[in-house]
Amino acid sequence: QVQLVESGGGLVQAGGSLRLSCAASRSIPSDNLMGWFRQAPGKQRELVAWFSRRGNMYYVASVKGRFTISRDNAKNTMYLQMNSLKPEDTGVYSCYVNLDARDYWGQGTQVTVSS
């Protein structure tokens, strides 16, 4: 099992930046699927940035070029750097990992982008 704890959310004006962190309670081998979900008000949760099992990085089209996913294995932490934020980026951001064939999510952190 693993516990995931996000931090770094908040209120920011459009055009601003935030960096989200996801701290894991244990080390996660790099060949596991892990990433960031977002759930906007009234919408389904969507996967916005992730590491494939081969370690490649992928992004949903709406955030490509603005968001960067990264990880620090020594700190058991994954990050999401979000630049040029838009009001439509508002939502609850949760980190996710598929480990030993089980899905784990953090509790989420709120990101609100004002226009």
What pLDDT sits at residue 22?
98
- In the prediction, which pLDDT does 96 show? 96
* Three-point CA angle 55, 70, 78, nearest 5°: 100
The span from the CA of 2 to the CA of 20, in Å, is: 19
CA distance readout (Å), 53 to 11, 35, 98, 109: 33, 11, 10, 25
pLDDT < 50 positions in the chain: none
Q: What pLDDT sits at residue 108?
A: 96
Whole-angstrom distance, CA of residue 109 vs CA of residue 99: 21
State the pLDDT at residue 20: 98
Burial of 76 (0-12, 13-18, 19+ CB in 10 A): middle
Phi/psi at 33 (5° precision): -70, 125
pLDDT at 30: 85
- Of all residues in the chain, what percent carry a pLDDT higher than 90? 95
| pLDDT at residue 94 in the model | 98
pLDDT computed for residue 73 by the predictor: 93
